[in-house]
Amino acid sequence: AKGESVAIVESDKADMDVEAFDEGILATIVVPEGGMTGVGNAIAYLVDQESEMEAAKAQAGSAPQAAAPAPAPAPEATSPAAATTEAAPAQTEAKAAAPAQAAVVSSPVVATAAAAPQPRADGRIIASPLAKVRAKELGVDLAIVGGSGPNGRITESDVERVAFGGTTGMASAVGLQEAQPMPVLPSSPTTTPPAATAPVSSIEQDPELPARGSVEKFTTLQAAVSKNMIASMEVPEFYVQTVISTDKLDEMYKALKPKGIAMSPLLAKAVGLALAKHPVMYASCPDGNSIKYNEHVNVAVAVAMPDGGLITPVLADADANDVTDLASSWKDLLGRARSKQLKPEEYSSGTFTISNLGMFGVDAFKPILPPGTAAIMSVGASKPTVVAGDDGSMKVEKQMTVGLAADHRIVYGAHAAEFLRDLKEIIENPVQLLV
């Protein structure tokens, strides 16, 4: 039916339901589950009547096909090997729904026995449209079904296994073992000893950790991060840092936390106010020969994803919006970021980035500049520190180290130092965050 979800497409930053554009009959599937295709290519064909199905299949068959994940090869006698697949984009005409971005291809890992389906690490339930329909027909709760598809996606066969086999398919642990060589039988009564068998570790591995010796192909998100990091290395960067007292900011945070205001919106607001005074710090160098001054102070905040990689939800117009609005936006963005439901403009429109590892106890670090921006700021942990006063007295105050990586083509040392000076003044006198 028109508007019915027919597939889930996984891009580098989001999972998207693809809906049927028209009513009709599903004649053939061009891109199999787990396959990869290019933007705008057909993934399936719909027809109006059954008599048109053969023509649609012929049309689909005459075009290059997207590659499907290759089955895992049988283990050799010596040791298992990892199988990888590469998917080629399909060049087909599209009447049916076309994905917004390329879908991911999983890489199966060979073990001595078939790996049992695993629940997703982030607890989300991702199921194919056919699996959802089949689960409803059979009365199966998808929450108890282990998915065998890419990234833990539940397939129709997973649902049927639970319905008819009585097992959820949830595995407690998956590990690799070395294949055992066949014993050698003596041809005559001799004292020849039997062949030695490979040792098997008796250590029980945490099921949340990757299997030892395994190889995992990048997810689309990890691949995108890798590509951006390589691009960042082509930009001449420099680093500066300063120490900021956080006593007053911490007091403000304790007072605002019961109202639902987190630390990230407070930091974003402080950064937004400082950036407004230094346009070059949220500019960009698009061609290596010019400076593009951006219209909006959009502060992106790096967030680690449960299944690898990171994403940068954007707090738009951080200089103009008040802390309450930023906190409300942040709560919404963070929830949808972790479930990969952000819109492209909600993670790709940042003009300055904050990376905060202070929550993990990290004192200081050098961030890597995202492509297309002038600077990124690192935030370390706030810790009690003994400080000497101007009069020689000693006191204890909480301090954090803030670092800055900047594009030296357009940002110079004085620019970075002046920005950090103003940011320090704002954070150490945070009442202006509420004005």
Which residues are known catalytic residues?
408
End-to-end CA distance of the chain: 52
Pairing of strands 314-315, 299-301: antiparallel
Find the largest Cα–Cα distance for the chain: 95
Both tokens of residue 329? 């936006």
Burial class from Cβ neighbours inside 10 Å (0-12, 13-18, 19+) for residue 45 reads buried
Alpha carbon distance 416, 65 (integer Å):
51
Q: How far is CA 168 from CA 34, 39, 210, 272, in A?
A: 22, 35, 21, 49
Residue 278 DSSP label? -
Q: How far is CA 409 from CA 231, 290, 418, in A?
A: 15, 9, 17
Alpha carbon distance 158, 165 (integer Å):
10
Residue 9 DSSP label? E
Q: How far is CA 141 from CA 44, 125, 130, 156, in A?
A: 28, 11, 14, 13
Alpha carbon distance 75, 81 (integer Å):
7
Phi, psi of 135 (to 5 degrees): -65, -40
Q: Which amino acid is at 411?
A: V
Alpha carbon distance 190, 184 (integer Å):
12
Alpha helices in 263-320 (DSSP H): 263-275
Strand-pair partners of 285: none
Q: How far is CA 193 from CA 186, 197, 198, in A?
A: 9, 12, 15
Q: Residue 246: which residues within 8 A CB-CB, separation 6 or more?
A: 382, 398, 399, 400, 427
- Three-state SS for 361-404 is CCCCCCCCCCCCCCEEEEECCCEEEEEECCCCCEEEEEEEEEEE
